Structure 1
Amino acid sequence: MKNLMKHLQEKYHYAVVVFKELVKTDFQLRYQGSFLGMVWSVLKPLMLFGVMYVIFVRFLKFTDGTPTFAISLLCGTCLWSFFTESTTMGLSSIVNRGDLLRKVHFPNYIVVAATNTGALISLGLGLIVVILFGAFSGAHFTWRVLLVPFSIIQLYCLALGVSLVLATLYVYFRDIAQIWEVLLQALFYSIPIIYPLSMVARSYPIVAKLMMLNPIAQPIMDIRHNLLSPEYVPTVWTNTADLGGAIDTPDVPAEWQWLNSPCLNILPYLFTVLVLWLGIHLFRKYSQKFAEVL
Protein backbone atom coordinates (compact mmCIF):
# COMPACT_ATOMS: atom_id res chain seq x y z
CA MET A 1 0.00 0.00 0.00
CA LYS A 2 2.79 2.43 0.83
CA ASN A 3 4.47 1.69 -2.49
CA LEU A 4 1.19 2.28 -4.31
CA MET A 5 0.62 5.61 -2.56
CA LYS A 6 4.19 6.65 -3.28
CA HIS A 7 3.79 5.71 -6.94
CA LEU A 8 0.55 7.70 -7.27
CA GLN A 9 2.09 10.68 -5.51
CA GLU A 10 5.09 10.67 -7.85
CA LYS A 11 2.92 10.18 -10.91
CA TYR A 12 0.43 12.96 -10.20
CA HIS A 13 2.55 15.35 -8.14
CA TYR A 14 3.45 17.53 -11.13
CA ALA A 15 -0.16 17.57 -12.36
CA VAL A 16 -1.42 18.63 -8.93
CA VAL A 17 1.14 21.44 -8.73
CA VAL A 18 0.17 22.72 -12.19
CA PHE A 19 -3.52 22.47 -11.29
CA LYS A 20 -3.08 24.55 -8.13
CA GLU A 21 -1.10 27.22 -9.96
CA LEU A 22 -3.65 27.43 -12.78
CA VAL A 23 -6.53 27.79 -10.32
CA LYS A 24 -4.66 30.52 -8.46
CA THR A 25 -3.66 32.34 -11.64
CA ASP A 26 -7.10 32.14 -13.25
CA PHE A 27 -8.81 33.42 -10.12
CA GLN A 28 -6.38 36.32 -9.78
CA LEU A 29 -6.49 37.29 -13.46
CA ARG A 30 -10.28 37.25 -13.40
CA TYR A 31 -10.30 40.46 -11.37
CA GLN A 32 -6.97 41.94 -12.41
CA GLY A 33 -7.19 45.70 -12.77
CA SER A 34 -10.51 45.79 -10.94
CA PHE A 35 -10.85 48.23 -8.04
CA LEU A 36 -13.04 45.87 -5.99
CA GLY A 37 -11.18 42.71 -6.97
CA MET A 38 -12.61 39.48 -5.53
CA VAL A 39 -15.54 41.41 -4.04
CA TRP A 40 -17.13 41.05 -7.49
CA SER A 41 -17.51 37.31 -6.77
CA VAL A 42 -20.17 38.31 -4.24
CA LEU A 43 -21.30 41.63 -5.67
CA LYS A 44 -22.10 40.37 -9.18
CA PRO A 45 -24.72 37.75 -8.16
CA LEU A 46 -26.15 40.21 -5.63
CA MET A 47 -26.63 42.84 -8.33
CA LEU A 48 -28.14 40.27 -10.69
CA PHE A 49 -30.45 39.12 -7.88
CA GLY A 50 -31.50 42.73 -7.25
CA VAL A 51 -32.45 43.25 -10.89
CA MET A 52 -34.39 39.98 -11.06
CA TYR A 53 -36.14 40.60 -7.75
CA VAL A 54 -37.37 44.06 -8.74
CA ILE A 55 -38.50 43.07 -12.24
CA PHE A 56 -39.85 39.57 -11.79
CA VAL A 57 -41.01 39.55 -8.15
CA ARG A 58 -42.09 43.14 -7.47
CA PHE A 59 -43.45 44.09 -10.90
CA LEU A 60 -44.35 40.84 -12.68
CA LYS A 61 -45.31 39.04 -9.43
CA PHE A 62 -43.34 35.87 -10.20
CA THR A 63 -43.60 34.54 -6.67
CA ASP A 64 -45.24 31.63 -4.88
CA GLY A 65 -45.95 33.72 -1.78
CA THR A 66 -43.64 31.69 0.47
CA PRO A 67 -41.44 33.59 2.96
CA THR A 68 -38.25 32.12 1.53
CA PHE A 69 -38.82 32.86 -2.16
CA ALA A 70 -36.50 35.90 -2.19
CA ILE A 71 -33.56 34.06 -0.61
CA SER A 72 -34.32 31.06 -2.84
CA LEU A 73 -34.05 33.40 -5.82
CA LEU A 74 -30.65 34.61 -4.61
CA CYS A 75 -29.47 31.03 -4.13
CA GLY A 76 -30.64 30.02 -7.60
CA THR A 77 -28.92 33.06 -9.10
CA CYS A 78 -25.59 32.10 -7.51
CA LEU A 79 -25.88 28.50 -8.68
CA TRP A 80 -26.81 29.48 -12.22
CA SER A 81 -23.97 32.01 -12.32
CA PHE A 82 -21.59 29.20 -11.40
CA PHE A 83 -22.83 26.97 -14.21
CA THR A 84 -22.72 29.82 -16.73
CA GLU A 85 -19.28 31.02 -15.67
CA SER A 86 -17.69 27.57 -15.52
CA THR A 87 -18.99 26.43 -18.92
CA THR A 88 -18.40 29.75 -20.69
CA MET A 89 -14.84 30.11 -19.43
CA GLY A 90 -14.21 26.38 -19.79
CA LEU A 91 -15.26 26.59 -23.42
CA SER A 92 -12.38 28.91 -24.33
CA SER A 93 -9.87 27.68 -21.73
CA ILE A 94 -7.88 25.43 -24.09
CA VAL A 95 -7.66 28.07 -26.81
CA ASN A 96 -6.67 30.75 -24.30
CA ARG A 97 -3.91 28.50 -22.92
CA GLY A 98 -2.66 27.44 -26.33
CA ASP A 99 0.82 28.91 -25.84
CA LEU A 100 1.21 27.10 -22.52
CA LEU A 101 0.08 23.78 -23.98
CA ARG A 102 2.67 24.02 -26.74
CA LYS A 103 5.53 24.79 -24.36
CA VAL A 104 4.82 22.69 -21.26
CA HIS A 105 3.78 19.05 -21.19
CA PHE A 106 1.01 18.26 -18.69
CA PRO A 107 -2.49 16.72 -18.88
CA ASN A 108 -4.64 19.11 -20.93
CA TYR A 109 -7.79 18.46 -18.93
CA ILE A 110 -6.20 20.29 -16.00
CA VAL A 111 -6.76 23.58 -17.83
CA VAL A 112 -10.53 23.02 -18.02
CA ALA A 113 -10.77 21.64 -14.48
CA ALA A 114 -8.85 24.63 -13.11
CA THR A 115 -11.29 27.02 -14.76
CA ASN A 116 -14.26 25.17 -13.28
CA THR A 117 -12.62 25.15 -9.85
CA GLY A 118 -12.13 28.91 -10.01
CA ALA A 119 -15.86 29.29 -10.64
CA LEU A 120 -16.49 26.90 -7.74
CA ILE A 121 -14.56 29.22 -5.41
CA SER A 122 -16.79 32.10 -6.47
CA LEU A 123 -19.83 29.91 -5.81
CA GLY A 124 -18.55 29.17 -2.31
CA LEU A 125 -18.30 32.89 -1.55
CA GLY A 126 -21.78 33.42 -2.94
CA LEU A 127 -23.31 30.65 -0.86
CA ILE A 128 -21.81 32.18 2.29
CA VAL A 129 -23.78 35.33 1.48
CA VAL A 130 -26.89 33.22 0.84
CA ILE A 131 -26.56 31.58 4.25
CA LEU A 132 -26.07 34.94 5.97
CA PHE A 133 -29.09 36.44 4.23
CA GLY A 134 -31.08 33.29 4.91
CA ALA A 135 -30.44 33.58 8.64
CA PHE A 136 -32.30 36.92 8.61
CA SER A 137 -35.01 36.10 6.05
CA GLY A 138 -36.78 33.06 7.45
CA ALA A 139 -34.70 30.23 5.98
CA HIS A 140 -35.22 26.92 7.75
CA PHE A 141 -31.86 25.25 8.31
CA THR A 142 -32.16 21.54 9.05
CA TRP A 143 -29.93 18.48 9.00
CA ARG A 144 -30.46 18.43 5.22
CA VAL A 145 -27.71 21.03 4.84
CA LEU A 146 -25.35 18.05 5.15
CA LEU A 147 -26.62 16.92 1.73
CA VAL A 148 -25.79 20.20 0.00
CA PRO A 149 -22.10 19.36 -0.74
CA PHE A 150 -23.21 16.25 -2.66
CA SER A 151 -25.49 18.34 -4.88
CA ILE A 152 -22.70 20.88 -5.42
CA ILE A 153 -20.37 18.06 -6.47
CA GLN A 154 -23.02 16.82 -8.89
CA LEU A 155 -23.45 20.30 -10.38
CA TYR A 156 -19.67 20.66 -10.65
CA CYS A 157 -19.36 17.30 -12.44
CA LEU A 158 -22.12 18.31 -14.85
CA ALA A 159 -20.44 21.66 -15.55
CA LEU A 160 -17.09 19.93 -16.00
CA GLY A 161 -18.53 17.43 -18.46
CA VAL A 162 -20.19 20.19 -20.48
CA SER A 163 -17.00 22.27 -20.36
CA LEU A 164 -14.89 19.38 -21.66
CA VAL A 165 -17.27 18.87 -24.58
CA LEU A 166 -17.41 22.59 -25.38
CA ALA A 167 -13.64 23.07 -25.02
CA THR A 168 -13.01 20.20 -27.44
CA LEU A 169 -15.49 21.54 -30.00
CA TYR A 170 -14.25 25.12 -29.66
CA VAL A 171 -10.72 24.16 -30.71
CA TYR A 172 -12.10 23.07 -34.09
CA PHE A 173 -15.29 25.13 -34.42
CA ARG A 174 -15.18 28.67 -33.04
CA ASP A 175 -18.87 29.21 -33.81
CA ILE A 176 -19.69 27.03 -30.83
CA ALA A 177 -19.25 30.05 -28.53
CA GLN A 178 -22.19 31.90 -30.14
CA ILE A 179 -24.31 28.75 -30.19
CA TRP A 180 -23.67 28.06 -26.50
CA GLU A 181 -24.54 31.64 -25.57
CA VAL A 182 -27.98 31.23 -27.14
CA LEU A 183 -28.45 27.80 -25.56
CA LEU A 184 -27.61 29.22 -22.13
CA GLN A 185 -30.39 31.77 -22.48
CA ALA A 186 -32.85 29.03 -23.43
CA LEU A 187 -31.71 26.84 -20.53
CA PHE A 188 -32.02 29.71 -18.06
CA TYR A 189 -35.70 30.25 -18.82
CA SER A 190 -36.38 26.51 -18.85
CA ILE A 191 -35.35 26.21 -15.20
CA PRO A 192 -37.47 27.52 -12.27
CA ILE A 193 -34.98 30.09 -11.02
CA ILE A 194 -36.73 33.44 -11.50
CA TYR A 195 -40.19 31.89 -11.26
CA PRO A 196 -41.60 29.25 -8.88
CA LEU A 197 -42.29 25.76 -10.20
CA SER A 198 -45.84 25.97 -8.88
CA MET A 199 -46.56 28.71 -11.44
CA VAL A 200 -45.92 26.21 -14.23
CA ALA A 201 -47.46 23.24 -12.43
CA ARG A 202 -50.86 24.91 -12.02
CA SER A 203 -51.46 25.04 -15.77
CA TYR A 204 -48.92 22.60 -17.20
CA PRO A 205 -48.29 19.77 -14.70
CA ILE A 206 -46.61 17.58 -17.33
CA VAL A 207 -44.17 20.36 -18.21
CA ALA A 208 -43.41 20.89 -14.52
CA LYS A 209 -42.56 17.22 -14.10
CA LEU A 210 -40.29 17.23 -17.16
CA MET A 211 -38.57 20.42 -16.01
CA MET A 212 -37.53 18.74 -12.78
CA LEU A 213 -35.84 15.98 -14.77
CA ASN A 214 -33.47 18.54 -16.25
CA PRO A 215 -29.99 17.64 -14.90
CA ILE A 216 -29.26 21.33 -14.33
CA ALA A 217 -32.52 22.11 -12.56
CA GLN A 218 -32.38 19.04 -10.30
CA PRO A 219 -29.20 19.91 -8.30
CA ILE A 220 -30.18 23.59 -8.14
CA MET A 221 -33.59 22.73 -6.70
CA ASP A 222 -32.05 20.13 -4.38
CA ILE A 223 -29.62 22.70 -2.97
CA ARG A 224 -32.38 25.23 -2.40
CA HIS A 225 -34.54 22.55 -0.80
CA ASN A 226 -31.85 21.18 1.52
CA LEU A 227 -30.18 24.47 2.36
CA LEU A 228 -33.04 26.92 2.72
CA SER A 229 -36.55 25.55 2.69
CA PRO A 230 -37.48 21.84 2.77
CA GLU A 231 -41.14 22.82 3.21
CA TYR A 232 -41.51 25.17 0.25
CA VAL A 233 -39.01 24.13 -2.45
CA PRO A 234 -39.96 20.99 -4.43
CA THR A 235 -37.35 18.56 -5.70
CA VAL A 236 -37.35 15.77 -8.25
CA TRP A 237 -38.16 13.39 -5.37
CA THR A 238 -41.19 15.31 -4.12
CA ASN A 239 -42.46 16.51 -7.49
CA THR A 240 -41.89 13.62 -9.86
CA ALA A 241 -42.98 10.85 -7.53
CA ASP A 242 -46.30 12.44 -6.66
CA LEU A 243 -47.83 15.41 -8.44
CA GLY A 244 -50.31 15.90 -5.66
CA GLY A 245 -47.66 16.00 -2.95
CA ALA A 246 -45.20 18.90 -2.94
CA ILE A 247 -47.23 21.07 -5.28
CA ASP A 248 -50.97 21.31 -5.87
CA THR A 249 -51.64 20.22 -9.47
CA PRO A 250 -54.41 18.50 -11.43
CA ASP A 251 -54.39 14.78 -12.08
CA VAL A 252 -52.05 13.55 -14.75
CA PRO A 253 -53.75 12.18 -17.92
CA ALA A 254 -53.69 8.39 -18.30
CA GLU A 255 -51.23 8.50 -21.20
CA TRP A 256 -48.73 10.33 -19.00
CA GLN A 257 -49.01 8.10 -15.95
CA TRP A 258 -45.56 6.66 -16.67
CA LEU A 259 -44.17 9.98 -15.40
CA ASN A 260 -45.21 8.96 -11.89
CA SER A 261 -42.68 6.14 -11.84
CA PRO A 262 -40.09 6.63 -9.06
CA CYS A 263 -37.47 5.24 -11.43
CA LEU A 264 -37.54 8.56 -13.29
CA ASN A 265 -36.05 10.28 -10.25
CA ILE A 266 -32.61 8.93 -11.04
CA LEU A 267 -32.59 10.20 -14.65
CA PRO A 268 -30.89 13.55 -13.82
CA TYR A 269 -28.13 11.70 -11.96
CA LEU A 270 -27.64 9.25 -14.81
CA PHE A 271 -27.56 12.08 -17.33
CA THR A 272 -24.91 13.87 -15.25
CA VAL A 273 -22.73 10.76 -15.30
CA LEU A 274 -23.33 10.39 -19.06
CA VAL A 275 -22.35 14.00 -19.78
CA LEU A 276 -19.20 13.72 -17.66
CA TRP A 277 -18.23 10.44 -19.37
CA LEU A 278 -18.89 11.95 -22.81
CA GLY A 279 -16.79 15.01 -21.98
CA ILE A 280 -13.87 12.89 -20.76
CA HIS A 281 -14.12 10.55 -23.75
CA LEU A 282 -14.20 13.32 -26.39
CA PHE A 283 -11.49 15.32 -24.67
CA ARG A 284 -9.12 12.36 -24.37
CA LYS A 285 -9.76 11.37 -27.97
CA TYR A 286 -8.93 14.76 -29.52
CA SER A 287 -6.67 16.44 -26.94
CA GLN A 288 -3.49 15.00 -28.45
CA LYS A 289 -4.03 17.16 -31.53
CA PHE A 290 -4.83 20.38 -29.69
CA ALA A 291 -1.29 21.73 -29.88
CA GLU A 292 -1.15 21.12 -33.63
CA VAL A 293 -4.50 22.77 -34.32
CA LEU A 294 -3.78 25.74 -32.09
Structure 2
Amino acid sequence: MRSIVDRLRQRYHYSLVILRELVKTDFKLRYQGSFLGVAWSVLQPLMLFVVMYLVFAKFLRMTDGTPTYPVVLLLGISSWQFFNESTSIGLRSIVDRGDLLRKVHFPNYIVVVSATMGALISYGINLIVVLIFAIFCRVHFTWRVLLLPISVFQLYILALGFTLIMATMYVYFRDVSHIWDVLQQVIFYSIPVIYPLTAVSGIHHWWGPVVAKLLLLNPIAQSIQDIRHSFIAPETTPTVWNQISNPFVTMIPILLTVIMVVLGVCVFRKYNHKFAEVM
Protein backbone atom coordinates (compact mmCIF):
# COMPACT_ATOMS: atom_id res chain seq x y z
CA MET A 1 0.00 0.00 0.00
CA ARG A 2 2.80 2.38 0.89
CA SER A 3 4.56 1.69 -2.41
CA ILE A 4 1.38 2.58 -4.31
CA VAL A 5 1.12 5.88 -2.41
CA ASP A 6 4.80 6.63 -3.11
CA ARG A 7 4.35 5.94 -6.82
CA LEU A 8 1.30 8.18 -7.02
CA ARG A 9 3.17 10.90 -5.15
CA GLN A 10 6.13 10.68 -7.53
CA ARG A 11 3.89 10.64 -10.58
CA TYR A 12 1.80 13.67 -9.61
CA HIS A 13 4.36 15.61 -7.54
CA TYR A 14 5.27 17.95 -10.40
CA SER A 15 1.60 18.57 -11.25
CA LEU A 16 0.76 19.32 -7.60
CA VAL A 17 3.66 21.78 -7.34
CA ILE A 18 2.48 23.59 -10.50
CA LEU A 19 -1.11 23.60 -9.24
CA ARG A 20 -0.12 25.04 -5.87
CA GLU A 21 1.91 27.83 -7.43
CA LEU A 22 -0.80 28.68 -9.97
CA VAL A 23 -3.45 28.85 -7.25
CA LYS A 24 -1.25 31.18 -5.17
CA THR A 25 -0.46 33.36 -8.19
CA ASP A 26 -4.06 33.54 -9.43
CA PHE A 27 -5.37 34.43 -5.98
CA LYS A 28 -2.80 37.21 -5.56
CA LEU A 29 -3.35 38.64 -9.04
CA ARG A 30 -7.14 38.53 -8.77
CA TYR A 31 -7.25 41.56 -6.46
CA GLN A 32 -3.93 43.14 -7.37
CA GLY A 33 -4.16 46.93 -7.56
CA SER A 34 -7.41 47.16 -5.61
CA PHE A 35 -7.42 49.03 -2.32
CA LEU A 36 -9.39 46.40 -0.38
CA GLY A 37 -7.70 43.39 -1.97
CA VAL A 38 -8.93 39.99 -0.77
CA ALA A 39 -11.72 41.69 1.19
CA TRP A 40 -13.62 41.94 -2.10
CA SER A 41 -14.15 38.17 -2.02
CA VAL A 42 -16.34 38.80 1.03
CA LEU A 43 -17.74 42.21 0.12
CA GLN A 44 -19.19 41.12 -3.24
CA PRO A 45 -21.60 38.49 -1.87
CA LEU A 46 -22.34 40.72 1.14
CA MET A 47 -23.37 43.63 -1.06
CA LEU A 48 -25.48 41.35 -3.25
CA PHE A 49 -27.03 39.92 -0.09
CA VAL A 50 -28.00 43.40 1.19
CA VAL A 51 -29.65 44.30 -2.13
CA MET A 52 -31.50 41.00 -2.48
CA TYR A 53 -32.60 40.97 1.15
CA LEU A 54 -34.04 44.48 0.93
CA VAL A 55 -35.80 43.79 -2.40
CA PHE A 56 -37.06 40.23 -1.93
CA ALA A 57 -37.37 39.84 1.84
CA LYS A 58 -38.37 43.32 2.96
CA PHE A 59 -40.11 44.81 -0.07
CA LEU A 60 -41.64 41.75 -1.80
CA ARG A 61 -42.00 39.78 1.46
CA MET A 62 -40.55 36.62 -0.12
CA THR A 63 -39.17 34.82 2.93
CA ASP A 64 -39.71 31.43 4.52
CA GLY A 65 -40.91 33.14 7.70
CA THR A 66 -38.06 31.89 9.88
CA PRO A 67 -35.58 34.05 11.86
CA THR A 68 -32.69 32.25 10.17
CA TYR A 69 -33.73 33.31 6.67
CA PRO A 70 -31.18 36.16 6.36
CA VAL A 71 -28.35 33.71 7.08
CA VAL A 72 -29.87 31.16 4.71
CA LEU A 73 -30.05 33.84 2.01
CA LEU A 74 -26.43 34.88 2.59
CA LEU A 75 -25.27 31.26 2.41
CA GLY A 76 -27.17 30.71 -0.83
CA ILE A 77 -25.71 33.84 -2.43
CA SER A 78 -22.19 32.90 -1.30
CA SER A 79 -22.63 29.40 -2.76
CA TRP A 80 -23.90 30.79 -6.05
CA GLN A 81 -21.05 33.31 -6.18
CA PHE A 82 -18.62 30.42 -5.87
CA PHE A 83 -20.22 28.56 -8.78
CA ASN A 84 -20.41 31.75 -10.82
CA GLU A 85 -16.79 32.71 -10.14
CA SER A 86 -15.47 29.21 -10.81
CA THR A 87 -17.12 28.95 -14.21
CA SER A 88 -16.59 32.56 -15.33
CA ILE A 89 -12.88 32.67 -14.51
CA GLY A 90 -12.22 29.03 -15.39
CA LEU A 91 -13.89 29.46 -18.76
CA ARG A 92 -11.14 31.86 -19.87
CA SER A 93 -8.28 30.16 -18.03
CA ILE A 94 -6.82 28.22 -20.97
CA VAL A 95 -6.80 31.24 -23.28
CA ASP A 96 -5.51 33.57 -20.56
CA ARG A 97 -2.68 31.16 -19.76
CA GLY A 98 -1.93 30.41 -23.40
CA ASP A 99 1.62 31.83 -23.31
CA LEU A 100 2.46 29.76 -20.23
CA LEU A 101 1.09 26.57 -21.79
CA ARG A 102 3.30 27.07 -24.83
CA LYS A 103 6.47 27.67 -22.80
CA VAL A 104 6.14 25.22 -19.89
CA HIS A 105 5.15 21.59 -20.28
CA PHE A 106 2.52 20.50 -17.76
CA PRO A 107 -1.01 19.05 -17.98
CA ASN A 108 -3.45 21.62 -19.34
CA TYR A 109 -6.19 20.69 -16.89
CA ILE A 110 -4.13 22.17 -14.04
CA VAL A 111 -4.89 25.66 -15.35
CA VAL A 112 -8.63 25.05 -15.12
CA VAL A 113 -8.39 23.37 -11.71
CA SER A 114 -6.31 26.26 -10.35
CA ALA A 115 -9.02 28.75 -11.39
CA THR A 116 -11.72 26.76 -9.60
CA MET A 117 -9.50 26.25 -6.55
CA GLY A 118 -9.02 30.01 -6.27
CA ALA A 119 -12.79 30.42 -6.22
CA LEU A 120 -13.00 27.66 -3.61
CA ILE A 121 -10.61 29.58 -1.33
CA SER A 122 -12.84 32.66 -1.59
CA TYR A 123 -15.83 30.46 -0.83
CA GLY A 124 -14.10 29.14 2.27
CA ILE A 125 -13.59 32.70 3.48
CA ASN A 126 -17.26 33.43 2.83
CA LEU A 127 -18.31 30.36 4.81
CA ILE A 128 -16.41 31.75 7.80
CA VAL A 129 -18.34 35.02 7.43
CA VAL A 130 -21.60 33.04 7.21
CA LEU A 131 -20.61 31.17 10.38
CA ILE A 132 -20.08 34.47 12.20
CA PHE A 133 -23.48 35.70 11.04
CA ALA A 134 -25.05 32.40 12.09
CA ILE A 135 -23.57 32.63 15.59
CA PHE A 136 -24.73 36.26 15.85
CA CYS A 137 -28.26 35.19 14.80
CA ARG A 138 -28.16 32.33 17.33
CA VAL A 139 -28.50 29.56 14.78
CA HIS A 140 -28.88 26.15 16.40
CA PHE A 141 -26.26 23.90 14.80
CA THR A 142 -26.88 20.16 14.55
CA TRP A 143 -24.81 17.08 13.76
CA ARG A 144 -25.73 17.60 10.09
CA VAL A 145 -23.02 20.23 9.85
CA LEU A 146 -20.67 17.25 9.46
CA LEU A 147 -22.33 16.60 6.08
CA LEU A 148 -21.41 20.09 4.82
CA PRO A 149 -18.09 19.05 3.18
CA ILE A 150 -19.93 16.44 1.09
CA SER A 151 -22.36 19.01 -0.33
CA VAL A 152 -19.56 21.55 -0.92
CA PHE A 153 -17.55 18.87 -2.71
CA GLN A 154 -20.51 18.07 -4.95
CA LEU A 155 -20.95 21.75 -5.85
CA TYR A 156 -17.22 22.01 -6.57
CA ILE A 157 -16.99 19.01 -8.90
CA LEU A 158 -20.18 20.16 -10.62
CA ALA A 159 -18.59 23.57 -11.23
CA LEU A 160 -15.39 21.86 -12.39
CA GLY A 161 -17.31 19.71 -14.88
CA PHE A 162 -19.07 22.78 -16.32
CA THR A 163 -15.78 24.69 -16.46
CA LEU A 164 -13.84 21.93 -18.25
CA ILE A 165 -16.46 21.84 -20.99
CA MET A 166 -16.73 25.61 -21.41
CA ALA A 167 -12.96 26.21 -21.19
CA THR A 168 -12.58 23.75 -24.08
CA MET A 169 -15.32 25.43 -26.11
CA TYR A 170 -13.94 28.91 -25.39
CA VAL A 171 -10.64 28.03 -27.05
CA TYR A 172 -12.53 27.48 -30.31
CA PHE A 173 -15.53 29.81 -29.90
CA ARG A 174 -15.10 33.07 -27.98
CA ASP A 175 -18.86 33.64 -28.08
CA VAL A 176 -19.20 31.01 -25.36
CA SER A 177 -18.44 33.58 -22.66
CA HIS A 178 -21.31 35.85 -23.76
CA ILE A 179 -23.72 32.93 -24.02
CA TRP A 180 -22.71 31.73 -20.56
CA ASP A 181 -23.26 35.20 -19.08
CA VAL A 182 -26.88 35.03 -20.22
CA LEU A 183 -27.36 31.41 -19.14
CA GLN A 184 -25.99 32.22 -15.70
CA GLN A 185 -28.71 34.81 -15.19
CA VAL A 186 -31.33 32.29 -16.31
CA ILE A 187 -30.01 29.65 -13.92
CA PHE A 188 -29.68 32.15 -11.06
CA TYR A 189 -33.34 33.16 -11.18
CA SER A 190 -34.59 29.64 -11.91
CA ILE A 191 -33.24 28.13 -8.69
CA PRO A 192 -34.16 29.09 -5.10
CA VAL A 193 -31.15 31.22 -4.21
CA ILE A 194 -32.67 34.66 -3.62
CA TYR A 195 -36.17 33.39 -2.94
CA PRO A 196 -37.27 30.47 -0.74
CA LEU A 197 -38.52 27.29 -2.37
CA THR A 198 -41.74 27.69 -0.39
CA ALA A 199 -42.53 30.72 -2.56
CA VAL A 200 -42.93 28.25 -5.44
CA SER A 201 -44.41 25.25 -3.63
CA GLY A 202 -46.89 27.53 -1.84
CA ILE A 203 -48.51 28.72 -5.08
CA HIS A 204 -52.23 27.87 -4.94
CA HIS A 205 -52.23 25.81 -8.12
CA TRP A 206 -51.56 22.15 -8.70
CA TRP A 207 -48.35 22.93 -10.56
CA GLY A 208 -46.73 24.85 -7.67
CA PRO A 209 -45.46 21.83 -5.70
CA VAL A 210 -44.60 20.04 -8.96
CA VAL A 211 -42.40 22.91 -10.18
CA ALA A 212 -40.74 23.14 -6.75
CA LYS A 213 -39.75 19.47 -6.95
CA LEU A 214 -38.51 19.89 -10.50
CA LEU A 215 -36.30 22.80 -9.39
CA LEU A 216 -34.69 20.54 -6.79
CA LEU A 217 -33.69 18.08 -9.53
CA ASN A 218 -31.28 20.73 -10.83
CA PRO A 219 -27.97 19.62 -9.26
CA ILE A 220 -26.96 23.25 -8.63
CA ALA A 221 -30.15 23.92 -6.67
CA GLN A 222 -29.94 20.53 -4.95
CA SER A 223 -26.37 21.04 -3.74
CA ILE A 224 -27.01 24.62 -2.54
CA GLN A 225 -30.14 23.51 -0.68
CA ASP A 226 -28.17 20.65 0.88
CA ILE A 227 -25.48 23.10 1.99
CA ARG A 228 -28.13 25.28 3.63
CA HIS A 229 -29.81 22.25 5.18
CA SER A 230 -26.58 20.89 6.69
CA PHE A 231 -25.09 24.19 7.81
CA ILE A 232 -27.91 26.47 8.92
CA ALA A 233 -31.50 25.25 8.88
CA PRO A 234 -32.11 21.48 8.72
CA GLU A 235 -35.63 21.87 10.11
CA THR A 236 -36.87 24.48 7.64
CA THR A 237 -34.85 23.98 4.44
CA PRO A 238 -36.57 21.80 1.82
CA THR A 239 -34.24 19.46 -0.04
CA VAL A 240 -34.67 16.78 -2.65
CA TRP A 241 -34.29 14.23 0.14
CA ASN A 242 -37.24 15.40 2.21
CA GLN A 243 -39.50 16.62 -0.61
CA ILE A 244 -39.41 13.62 -2.94
CA SER A 245 -40.21 10.16 -1.60
CA ASN A 246 -39.08 8.13 -4.62
CA PRO A 247 -35.42 7.15 -3.95
CA PHE A 248 -34.67 6.72 -7.65
CA VAL A 249 -35.89 10.25 -8.44
CA THR A 250 -33.84 11.73 -5.58
CA MET A 251 -30.68 10.32 -7.16
CA ILE A 252 -31.22 12.24 -10.42
CA PRO A 253 -29.21 15.35 -9.31
CA ILE A 254 -26.34 13.14 -8.15
CA LEU A 255 -26.41 11.24 -11.44
CA LEU A 256 -26.43 14.51 -13.41
CA THR A 257 -23.42 15.72 -11.38
CA VAL A 258 -21.48 12.56 -12.20
CA ILE A 259 -22.44 12.80 -15.87
CA MET A 260 -21.32 16.45 -16.01
CA VAL A 261 -17.94 15.67 -14.46
CA VAL A 262 -17.30 12.64 -16.68
CA LEU A 263 -18.42 14.57 -19.77
CA GLY A 264 -16.18 17.51 -18.83
CA VAL A 265 -13.14 15.28 -18.37
CA CYS A 266 -13.79 13.39 -21.63
CA VAL A 267 -14.31 16.55 -23.70
CA PHE A 268 -11.24 18.23 -22.23
CA ARG A 269 -9.01 15.18 -22.73
CA LYS A 270 -10.18 14.81 -26.34
CA TYR A 271 -9.36 18.36 -27.41
CA ASN A 272 -6.69 19.67 -25.02
CA HIS A 273 -3.76 18.51 -27.19
CA LYS A 274 -4.94 20.93 -29.91
CA PHE A 275 -5.13 24.01 -27.68
CA ALA A 276 -1.64 25.31 -28.51
CA GLU A 277 -2.31 25.03 -32.26
CA VAL A 278 -5.68 26.79 -32.12
CA MET A 279 -4.50 29.62 -29.84
| TM-score between both structures, scaled by the size of structure 1 | 0.92
Match of 1:226 among 227, 230, 234: 230
Give the match for residue 88 of structure 1.
88
Counterpart Cα distance in 2 of 1:26 and 1:111: 10
What pairs with 1:30-109 in structure 2 (closer than 5 Å)?
Answer: 30-109=30-109
2:227 corresponds to 1:280: no
What pairs with 1:152-191 in structure 2 (closer than 5 Å)?
Answer: 152-191=152-191
- Cα deviations across residues 85-128 of structure 1 (Å, max 9, x unaligned)? 00000100000000001111100000000000000000000010
Percent of paired sites with the same residue = 60
Q: Match of 1:61, SS? A: coil
What pairs with 1:100-119 in structure 2 (closer than 5 Å)?
Answer: 100-119=100-119
- Cα deviations across residues 166-193 of structure 1 (Å, max 9, x unaligned)? 0000000110101100000000011111
Give the match for residue 197 of structure 1.
197
Counterpart Cα distance in 1 of 2:133 and 2:7: 46
Code of the aligned partner of 1:122: S
Checking the alignment, whether the CA contact within 8 Å between 1:212 and 1:240 is kept in structure 2 is no
Checking the alignment, whether the CA contact within 8 Å between 1:87 and 1:159 is kept in structure 2 is yes
Q: Match of 1:216, SS? A: helix
Code of the aligned partner of 1:144: R
- Cα deviations across residues 191-224 of structure 1 (Å, max 9, x unaligned)? 1111111110022111001001110001100010
Give the match for residue 216 of structure 1.
220
> Unaligned stretches of 5+ in structure 1?
242-260
User: Once superposed, what is the RMSD of the aligned Cα atoms?
Assistant: 0.9
Code of the aligned partner of 1:240: I
Could you tell which deviates more after superposition, 3-12 or 197-206? 3-12
Give the match for residue 264 of structure 1.
249
User: How far off is 1:53 after superposition?
Assistant: 0.7
Code of the aligned partner of 1:163: T
User: How far off is 1:3 after superposition?
Assistant: 3.5
Give the match for residue 257 of structure 1.
none
Give the match for residue 277 of structure 2.
292
Q: Match of 1:45, SS? A: helix
Code of the aligned partner of 2:158: L
- Cα deviations across residues 24-75 of structure 1 (Å, max 9, x unaligned)? 0000000000111111111111111011111111111111211111110000
Counterpart Cα distance in 2 of 1:221 and 1:140: 17
Checking the alignment, whether the CA contact within 8 Å between 1:240 and 1:265 is kept in structure 2 is yes
Q: Match of 1:195, SS? A: coil
Checking the alignment, whether the CA contact within 8 Å between 1:91 and 1:167 is kept in structure 2 is yes
Counterpart Cα distance in 2 of 1:22 and 1:291: 19
- Cα deviations across residues 111-151 of structure 1 (Å, max 9, x unaligned)? 00000000000000001010110112132200000000000
> Unaligned stretches of 5+ in structure 2?
none
Give the match for residue 149 of structure 2.
149
Code of the aligned partner of 1:167: A
2:130 corresponds to 1:130: yes
Counterpart Cα distance in 2 of 1:9 and 1:227: 34
Q: Match of 1:151, SS? A: helix
Match of 2:210 among 189, 197, 206: 206
User: How far off is 1:226 after superposition?
Assistant: 0.9
